[in-house]
């Protein structure tokens, strides 16, 4: 009777045990595969699309920086008022650049944690973005019509790295023939002048060389060219749109390019330089102080290929870094190095 009962039990529930065993095996396989074949995962739940995430650990000064790249998926601009990121049980406030993000535009946000993860360790994090929905669209921005509060959330999974990953948001605007820039004194960072339309935007990321931040923009002749001992990489990634103008004339289509990022500077990084074949300005912002033009009167000086240097001493903290470049002819070189 006991043998018969055992056979009946196995015949009745044996299939269930097999299914459970298969499920456990699949879960184990997926878990180990995710570890072995990991790629950055980043998602946004409404409002923003998350493009990219990184988690940089500085073991010398015992801090980590989480960086995410967000695109505005709404039909109107979003004015970011605050962002927080959570890793484990720790939640910290961060900073985004720019704070006003147009439809389709990319913003870069970062937050600093006073903790260290082992290189290669997977880190799961969450973010929450508070913003104002610009109800009236772009045409009403100057009337301050960004009043409806919204809250967007998302999650990311990144692998801890000891290489600082710098993510730039970028815009390239094309102007009509003869279009110029406002005066240096009246120009606001991230302002697109009249008669210019956005020709291309997107985000660009690199680890730079030896930990330095490097960004450049130019024609194919500059791709891979040496710059301050490092290799410059061009943006846009396809420069064909810039290579059709060989001379500057009244009919030329001028271009303005804006590159921006949010970085954490530890106070030892106080040497900045830009190299340009036309006119350029460099700004920084902590969101608690007014915009500061690093190069002052040297901004918007039209030259052949020239380099401008500064030694602004930064304290510890998150900074929004903005570079604006202008060429009346539609092509040129733009590069930024922070060390």
Structural domains in the chain, sorted by start: 41-161 (2.60.40.10), 166-338 (2.60.120)
Q: Give me the pLDDT at residue 112, please.
A: 96
Among 338, 303, 339, 335, residue whose Cα is nearest residue 227:
335
More confident residue, 177 or 9: 177
- For the question of whether the overall pTM of this predicted structure is more than 0.75, the answer is yes
**CA dihedral (311, 313, 316, 321) positive or negative:** negative
How does pLDDT run across 53-100, given as a tens digit for each residue? 999 998 888 899 999 999 999 988 888 999 999 999 999 999 999 888
Average pLDDT taken over every residue of the chain:
74
Above pLDDT 90, what percent of the chain? 21
Q: Give me the pLDDT at residue 223, please.
A: 39
Among 217, 225, 205, residue whose Cα is nearest residue 255:
217
How does pLDDT run across 208-248, given as a tens digit for each residue? 666 677 776 655 444 344 444 444 555 544 444 444 445 56
What average pLDDT does this structure show over 159-169? 84
Q: Give me the pLDDT at residue 38, please.
A: 43
Q: Give me the pLDDT at residue 258, please.
A: 83
d(CA 99, CA 108): 9
Tell me the DSSP string of 46-84: SSEEEEEEEEEEETTTTEEEEEEEEEE-SSS-EEEEEEE
CA dihedral of residues 13, 15, 20, 24 (deg, nearest 10) = 150
Q: Which two tokens stand for residue 245?
A: 């103008």
How does pLDDT run across 277-296, given as a tens digit for each residue? 777 778 887 776 667 888 77
d(CA 113, CA 61): 11
What average pLDDT does this structure show over 131-156? 81
């Amino acid at each position: 009777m006991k043998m018969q009962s055992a056979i009946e039990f196995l015949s009745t529930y044996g299939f269930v045990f097999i299914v459970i065993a298969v499920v456990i095996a699949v879960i184990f396989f997926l878990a180990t595969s995710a570890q072995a074949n990991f790629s950055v995962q980043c998602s946004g739940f409404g409002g923003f699309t998350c493009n990219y995430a990184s988690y940089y650990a500085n073991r010398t000064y015992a801090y980590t920086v989480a960086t995410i790249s967000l695109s505005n998926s709404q039909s109107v601009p979003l004015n970011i008022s605050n962002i927080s990121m959570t890793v484990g049980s720790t939640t910290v406030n961060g900073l985004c650049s720019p704070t006003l993000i147009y439809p389709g535009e990319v913003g870069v946000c970062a937050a600093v944690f006073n903790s260290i993860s082992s290189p290669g360790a997977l880190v799961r994090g969450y973010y929450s973005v508070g913003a104002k929905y610009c109800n009236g669209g772009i045409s009403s921005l100057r009337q301050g019509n960004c009043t409806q509060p919204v809250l967007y959330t998302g999650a990311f999974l990144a692998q801890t790295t000891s290489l600082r990953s710098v993510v730039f948001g970028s815009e390239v605007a094309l102007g009509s023939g003869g279009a110029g820039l406002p005066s240096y004194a009246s120009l606001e960072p991230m302002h697109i002048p009249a008669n210019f339309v956005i020709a291309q935007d997107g985000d660009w990321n690199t680890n730079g060389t030896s930990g330095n931040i490097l960004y450049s923009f130019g024609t194919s002749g500059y791709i891979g060219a040496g710059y301050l001992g490092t290799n410059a990489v061009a943006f846009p990634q396809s420069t064909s749109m810039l290579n059709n103008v060989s001379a500057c004339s009244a009919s030329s289509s001028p271009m303005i390019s804006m590159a921006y990022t949010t970085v954490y500077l530890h106070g030892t990084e106080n040497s900045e330089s830009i190299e340009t074949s036309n006119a350029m300005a460099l700004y920084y912002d902590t969101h608690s102080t007014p915009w500061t033009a690093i190069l002052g009167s040297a901004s918007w000086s039209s030259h052949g290929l020239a380099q401008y240097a500064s030694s602004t001493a930064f304290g510890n903290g998150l900074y929004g870094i903005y570079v604006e470049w202008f060429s009346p002819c539609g092509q040129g070189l733009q590069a930024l190095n922070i060390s």
